[in-house]
Structure 1
Amino acid sequence: MTVWRAPGRINLVGEHTDYNDGFVLPFALEVGCTAVVEPASPGRDGWSVRSAQQAEPVVVRRSGLSAAPDVPEWSRYVLGALWLLTDRGVDVPALDLRVDSDVPSGAGLSSSAALVCSVTRALDDHLGLGLDDDALFALTRDVENDAVGAPTGGMDQLVSLRGEAGHALFCDMRSHETRAVPLDLAGNGLAVLVADTRAPHRHSDGEYGARRSGCEEAARRLGVPALRDVTAADLDDALAQLNDDELRRYVRHVVTEDDRVLSVVRLLDEGRLPDVGPLLTASHISMRDDFRITVPEVDTAVDALHEAGALGARMTGGGFGGCVIGLVSEQSVESAGEAVRAAFADAGFGEPSLFTAAPAAGAHPVAG
């Protein structure tokens, strides 16, 4: 039996920049998914998948992706690595897989990457494949893109695989090079307060894909490989070349968001954590006004956190729901949380879930 655990993540700053070859700054969470891989019962030649969060198991024959049967979407996140490894020439034997996650689903904390990365690391270990960091990352991203059909850019998988305790992970999404950046919350008397608005979103829906295709179209019209190649200094000239207001908004968000990531990394390297607050807020305004991916629940939470004295606040994740983060003093965590609850009650929204988050380790083995 082989057991691995991989975390969900909070994205400190850098939204929708990943698939534009840009920069992101997430950190891994304590919550995550645990995957168990063991040989199948004698006499059975197939793959069995069970989830603690699902009522029924899924049992399929061994196959590649092209011959994969129609199965529930959740199980594709688990079976995807098996299908793709088979397509790549690995003789994957009959196996039993079990998964158990405590990452809130649909909250923008990347429960999907935690699931995929825990399964992939467990399979690599159990089968003795010896995949290096780059190969593991590529496989996990391919599972979501090809086996599930979710057009994610790869940030979630990188931090779930490579996150470090006490650090955010600066990711260059073109080269996939990463660097740990100190995120000393306790040493600065600060906390990241997370408000799960419980307004769920889905990455595989049309809105996320529309933003991605729009960014790709804008890059094509601007004659650059990706929007990452438009710098903040180039922005005005780039916007003048576009006659589509929607594409102009997309470009403005991505270019300014990349610049915000670089600024936050510089501040953290200099030990100036409190100074990143205004950049977090600017990121939210850009997501709200230019990329237009926020919803009333997340805007209400951000406003409430600011009124409660947060240094900065923003939605985190792909948008259209999910979580908001606020950079608050340790002493004001409770009062800031109460402010969000009161604002939700006044607006007639459901009760939000509130907790603090600190950077944790990436995927790691667990004693069976």
Structure 2
Amino acid sequence: MTTVRTPRPRSIDELAATFRDQFDADPDGVWFAPGRVNIIGEHTDYNDGFVLPIALAEGTWVAARRRDDDTVRLHTDSPDVSDPTVTLRLGDVHEGQSVGWASYAAGVGWAAAQRGLDVPGLDLAVTSNVPTGAGLSSSAALSCGTARAWVDLAGWSLSDTEVADLGRDAENHIAGAPTGLMDQLASVCGQAGHAMQIDTRSVQITQIPFDLTAQGLALLVIDSRAPHALVSGEYAERRQSCQEAAQALGVSSLRDASVSDLDDLPDLLQRRARHVITDSARVEQVASLLTDGSDPRTIGPLLTQSHVSMRNDFEITVPVTDLIAETAVRAGAYGARQTGGGFGGCVIALVDDDAAETVAQACVAAASAGGFNQPTSFVAVPSDGARRLS
């Protein structure tokens, strides 16, 4: 039985044909933006801490054509949306007004207008092979792919960070997802064969070699198929708790606090802050090990420590991701942790490349025995960020 399956990439020609069917014209071009998987550092981004994501080979393809008015027409082939075709005017898009999945794309135009840019309308057809609800930033891939297309077609002169910021504003203000900037930076700034250590305070990105294949290793992504939702109250509560902890400590963010400062905080705030502080420190440890040329296997225990912290202190894991992480380590992984915003989604496991199938099958068996959905798995390959394809 083959358990590890790489999602099928989408064809540019097929997407262009879909565009022609929908809009009776050829697209001006096709763009791609990847999803991301975060190696370590969860909920540290909005606390001015460090994160360490990679851009995936999986992502979203965007076929686009510039219009002469302020209309945006969008179409997706995703089976997960109830309204695959949406038409709206940019002038009608405003903060707090979600238009479903189209918010992640149309919101980019709103964000650009807030910066005083001249924003033309667009026709957009999109397709993706990032699993939705899996914590792999399918939404950032959509917003950043759209942003890259809009930048090129409108002729805006924006840095990569500014392109990523358009995507974040679309998610925060139109889609209503309170994300930090990590997802979008990873989608825009990824480099093949590298992880990105991002200082979210200075928005400084350090590209760190992360070629696991050369070391006989693989980063196995195990989708628990327990979907998460960043717009839920649980995510907002964690963010609010971090803000309250920082205020109680008299610092602007938890980046400026240490574990020794936490003794006088209420138990809940103490645990929330401890996770953020220690996970940000683990990012620096992992980055240091990789930069120094250490065997990547040495980062495994830090991944497992991160999962324990998310489970006990930040309380964002769920029974099935706990089970998968524990099973992966028992089956031979060097370390495993839930990745993404939490409350479901994916687990990553650092494994020998010839053990990926064995570990994946062990996780399937454990989930089945526990009465959970059967997980699916693929191997994550660090890849390039958002770019024009044609």
TM-score (norm 2): 0.89
Kept in 2: contact 1:293–1:320 (CA 8 A)? yes
Once the two structures are superposed, residues 143-199 of structure 1 have per-residue CA deviations (whole angstroms, 9 ceiling, x without a partner) of 111111111111000110001000100000001110111112011111111110000
CA distance in 2, matches of 1:180, 1:39: 34
CA distance in 2, matches of 1:283, 1:215: 17
Q: Which residue of 2 aligns with 1:261?
A: 283
Q: CA deviation at 1:88?
A: 3.2
Percent of aligned positions with the same letter in both sequences? 48
Q: Give 1:56-205 correspondences, 5 Å limit.
A: 56-63=84-91, 65-66=93-94, 72-205=99-232
Q: CA deviation at 1:45?
A: 5.8
CA distance in 1, matches of 2:121, 2:181: 29
Of residues 77-86 and 159-168 in structure 1, the stretch that sits farther from structure 2 once superposed is: 77-86
Give the match's secondary structure for 1:92.
coil
Residue of structure 2 aligned with 1:338, choices 355, 358, 361 = 361
Give the match's secondary structure for 1:60.
strand
CA distance in 2, matches of 1:300, 1:230: 32
Kept in 1: contact 2:98–2:176 (CA 8 A)? no
Letter in 2 for 1:330: D
Letter in 1 for 2:130: V
Give the match's secondary structure for 2:103.
helix
Kept in 1: contact 2:70–2:91 (CA 8 A)? no
Instruction: Name the CA shift for 1:192/1:120 in 2 (closer, same or farther; >3 Å).
Output: same
Residue of structure 2 aligned with 1:37, choices 64, 67, 70 = 64
Q: Which residue of 2 aligns with 1:302?
A: 325
CA distance in 2, matches of 1:57, 1:257: 41
CA distance in 1, matches of 2:70, 2:143: 23
Q: Which residue of 2 aligns with 1:271?
A: 293
Q: CA deviation at 1:67?
A: 8.1
The size of the alignment, in residue pairs, is 359
* 1:360 counterpart = 2:383: yes
CA distance in 2, matches of 1:171, 1:64: 35
Kept in 1: contact 2:77–2:127 (CA 8 A)? yes
Kept in 2: contact 1:21–1:174 (CA 8 A)? yes
Once the two structures are superposed, residues 300-344 of structure 1 have per-residue CA deviations (whole angstroms, 9 ceiling, x without a partner) of 101110110110000000000000010011121111111101101
Give the match's secondary structure for 2:94.
helix
Of residues 85-94 and 274-283 in structure 1, the stretch that sits farther from structure 2 once superposed is: 85-94
Kept in 2: contact 1:159–1:362 (CA 8 A)? yes
CA distance in 2, matches of 1:155, 1:245: 28
Kept in 1: contact 2:289–2:299 (CA 8 A)? yes
Letter in 1 for 2:286: V
Of residues 136-145 and 3-12 in structure 1, the stretch that sits farther from structure 2 once superposed is: 136-145
Residue of structure 2 aligned with 1:290, choices 310, 313, 329 = 313
Kept in 1: contact 2:95–2:174 (CA 8 A)? no
Once the two structures are superposed, residues 241-283 of structure 1 have per-residue CA deviations (whole angstroms, 9 ceiling, x without a partner) of 21x1110001110111011000000000112211000000000
Once the two structures are superposed, residues 4-54 of structure 1 have per-residue CA deviations (whole angstroms, 9 ceiling, x without a partner) of 1000011000000000000000001010011122034x8x76221111214
Kept in 1: contact 2:90–2:106 (CA 8 A)? no
Q: CA deviation at 1:60?
A: 1.0
Q: CA deviation at 1:87?
A: 3.5
Instruction: Name the CA shift for 1:94/1:306 in 2 (closer, same or farther; >3 Å).
Output: closer
Instruction: Name the CA shift for 1:148/1:189 in 2 (closer, same or farther; >3 Å).
Output: same
CA distance in 2, matches of 1:39, 1:186: 41
Unaligned 5+ residue runs, structure 2? 1-27
Kept in 2: contact 1:151–1:209 (CA 8 A)? yes
Q: CA deviation at 1:2?
A: 2.8
Once the two structures are superposed, residues 97-130 of structure 1 have per-residue CA deviations (whole angstroms, 9 ceiling, x without a partner) of 1111111000010001101000000000011112
Unaligned 5+ residue runs, structure 1? none
TM-score (norm 1): 0.94
Kept in 2: contact 1:65–1:84 (CA 8 A)? no
